[in-house]
């Protein structure tokens, strides 16, 4: 976004960031460092699960994991900071390493200065959201940030939340930390954005592969410390209450916009549900744009980038009196569940969302084990679904299987380019896991042929 505005004509741009070293959430405490942890645990898991291997099972060297993660994170952050500082060398661009606070509508106090820009873009990211459950303030609550820096773990853990963060880090606690994990999810099924079945299959995988006690439709009602320094939680599940104890508590309960301390109470801005429109403008001030995690719409890195691009374009359009563009993304989520061995992907429509959109469609499913390459690679778990319009247009893909993450880009192209499933080349480069896509394409084509034949017969 900054590059777009810095390159525009007649724009004076002030960049304000008080981060140290800076670089963004994803780089410092999100998707990038988490992959460092998951990859180490995945190697151990692979060795443990593969019956063809012999010898003692290695332990994950947690100190080495954290050391490597810190080194990489520092380098990534430094490069990002360097890019920002380089941008500030351009004419008309200033970088201020300070904290900004609103004192009035579009009036900012920055250090010992007051500035009144024509437009303000809020991109302050998000912060951890720990639920206000009774007694939680009396126990030690660990979060993803603590996992990233941990070089030792206790023997047992209670995990709150199996959303994106929980599904990635709970197996790490089990595999790398060698903890007994009890995971509590308040929703009735994991993977709320997926069609029914995917979530239950993933829950069963966690129970079997990681020996985790996964409980859905389970709500923590009360916390209290135990005499030996642990945690006791009262859980309501299916109308019944039960008490569970563990050494450590981890809250993977999501994030909330980082707006505290910005002085929004001094402005007309009123954060809440739907406070930012599709043009990325705050509804109460069309010269304030809010992008990324800060607007609470969809806290995903690639979404944040596209929102920022839309905002930059719309700032210039608003200045010039031109029409603004609405940000309307195609659903594109990747979750590195199962330590990345059983990732979940959804691109475009699920069957449920296609139904809600009143689209005519067919679905086809295929099991990973049905393609020999998955068995050959010793990863036969999971399945995939393709959602196709009755005119042949690829509407969506869901995958819960090895390398589903790798296939996300291919399926994004198919969905966003509105390709006809019957015209996508069926060309496998054996033995590769994308053969599962060939199976889906072939099955969808056959299903469409059957639908067309049925309609033709009915019209005679």
pLDDT score, position 275:
95
State yes or no: pLDDT of 21 exceeds 60.
Answer: no
Per residue in 266-321, pLDDT tens?
999 999 989 999 999 999 999 999 998 999 887 777 788 889 999 999 999 999 99
CATH top-level class for 2-125+256-320?
alpha beta
Determine the pLDDT at residue 382.
98
Distance of CA 143 to the CA centre of its chain: 16
- Using DSSP's 3-state secondary structure scheme, residue 142 falls into strand
Q: Does the structure show a pLDDT above 90 at 147?
A: yes
- CB within 8 Å of 365: residues ≥ 6 apart: 383, 384, 385, 386
> pLDDT tens for residues 169-206?
999 999 999 999 999 999 999 999 999 999 999 999 99
Residues 222, 134: Cα–Cα separation, whole Å: 5
List the end-to-end C-alpha distance of the chain, in Å, as a whole number: 57
Phi, psi of 368 (to 5 degrees): -60, -40
CB 373 within 8 A of CB 367: no
Q: Which pair of structure tokens corresponds to residue 160?
A: 């709150």
Cα–Cα distance, 206 to 181 (Å, whole number): 10
| Chain centroid, CA 149 distance in Å | 20
Cα–Cα distance for residue pair 184/417, rounded to 1 Å: 39
- Please identify, in words, the CATH class of the domain defined by 136-253: alpha beta
Show the DSSP H helices in 252-300 as ranges.
none
Mean pLDDT computed over 110-123: 95
Average pLDDT value over all residues in the chain: 92
Q: What are phi and psi of 251, to 5 degrees?
A: -105, 110
Torsion of CA 144, 146, 147, 152, to 10 degrees: -170
CA pair distance 267, 105, nearest whole angstrom:
5
**Which of 54-68, 80-94, 122-136 comes out lowest in average pLDDT?**
80-94
3-state secondary structure of 411: helix
The pLDDT of residue 455 is above 90: no
Taken as a whole, the chain contains a residue count of 460
- The residues, any chain, with a CB within 8 Å of residue 253's CB and separated by 6 or more, are 129, 130, 131, 160, 161, 163, 166
User: Taking residues 318-326, what's their average pLDDT?
Assistant: 95
Intrachain domains 2-125+256-320 and 136-253 with the same fold: yes
Domain residue extents for the chain? 2-125+256-320, 136-253, 343-459
166 CB-near residues (< 8 Å, 6+ apart): 159, 160, 183, 185, 252, 253
39-72 pLDDT, tens digit each? 999 999 999 999 999 999 999 999 999 999 989 8
* pLDDT confidence tier of residue 24, bands split at 50, 70 and 90: low
Q: Give the homologous superfamily in CATH for domain 343-459.
A: FAD/NAD-linked reductase, C-terminal dimerisation domain (3.30.390.30)
| DSSP state letter for 228 | T
What are the pLDDT digits (tens) for 4-17?
888 888 999 999 98
Q: pLDDT at position 159, please? A: 98
Q: Is the pLDDT of residue 167 over 70?
A: yes
Percent of the chain with pLDDT over 70: 98
């Amino acid at each position: 976004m900054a590059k777009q505005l810095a390159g525009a004509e007649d724009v004076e741009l002030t960049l304000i960031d008080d981060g140290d070293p800076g670089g963004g959430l994803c780089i410092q405490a999100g998707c990038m460092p988490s992959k460092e942890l998951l990859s180490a645990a995945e190697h151990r898991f692979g060795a443990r699960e593969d019956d063809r291997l012999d010898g003692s099972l290695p332990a994950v060297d947690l100190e080495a994991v954290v050391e490597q993660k810190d080194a990489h994170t520092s380098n990534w952050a430094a490069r990002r900071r360097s890019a920002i500082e380089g941008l500030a060398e351009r004419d008309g661009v200033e970088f201020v390493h300070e904290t900004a606070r609103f004192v009035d509508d579009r009036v900012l106090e920055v250090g010992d200065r007051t500035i009144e820009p024509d437009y303000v873009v809020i991109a302050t990211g998000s912060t951890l959201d720990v639920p206000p459950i009774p007694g939680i303030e009396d126990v030690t609550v660990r979060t993803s940030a603590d996992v990233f820096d941990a070089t030792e773990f206790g023997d047992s853990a209670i995990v709150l939340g199996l959303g994106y963060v929980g599904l990635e880090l709970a197996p790490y606690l089990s595999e790398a930390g060698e903890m007994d994990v009890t995971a509590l999810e308040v929703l009735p099924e994991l993977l709320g954005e997926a069609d029914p079945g995917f979530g239950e299959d993933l829950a069963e995988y966690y129970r079997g592969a990681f020996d985790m006690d996964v409980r859905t439709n389970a709500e923590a009602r009360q916390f209290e410390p135990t005499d030996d320094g642990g945690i006791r939680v009262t859980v309501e599940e299916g109308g019944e209450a039960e008490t569970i104890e563990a050494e450590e508590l981890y809250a993977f309960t999501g994030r909330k916009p980082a707006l505290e301390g910005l002085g929004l109470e001094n402005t007309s801005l009123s954060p809440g549900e739907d406070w930012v429109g599709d043009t990325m403008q705050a509804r109460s001030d069309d010269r304030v744009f809010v992008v990324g995690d800060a607007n609470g719409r969809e806290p995903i890195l690639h979404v944040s980038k596209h929102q920022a691009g839309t905002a930059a374009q719309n700032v210039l359009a608003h200045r010039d009196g031109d029409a603004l563009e609405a940000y309307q993304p195609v659903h594109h989520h990747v979750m590195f569940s199962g330590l990345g061995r059983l990732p979940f992907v959804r691109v475009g429509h699920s069957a449920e969302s296609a139904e809600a959109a009143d689209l005519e469609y067919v679905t086809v499913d295929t099991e990973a084990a049905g393609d020999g390459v998955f068995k050959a690679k010793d990863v036969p778990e999971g399945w995939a679904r393709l959602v196709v319009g009755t005119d042949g247009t690829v509407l969506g893909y869901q995958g819960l299987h090895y390398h589903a993450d790798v296939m996300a880009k291919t399926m994004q192209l198919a969905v966003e380019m509105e390709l006809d499933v019957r015209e996508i080349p069926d060309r496998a480069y054996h033995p590769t896991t994308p053969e599962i896509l060939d199976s889906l394409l072939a099955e969808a084509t056959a299903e469409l042929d059957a639908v067309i034949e049925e309609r033709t017969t009915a019209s005679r």
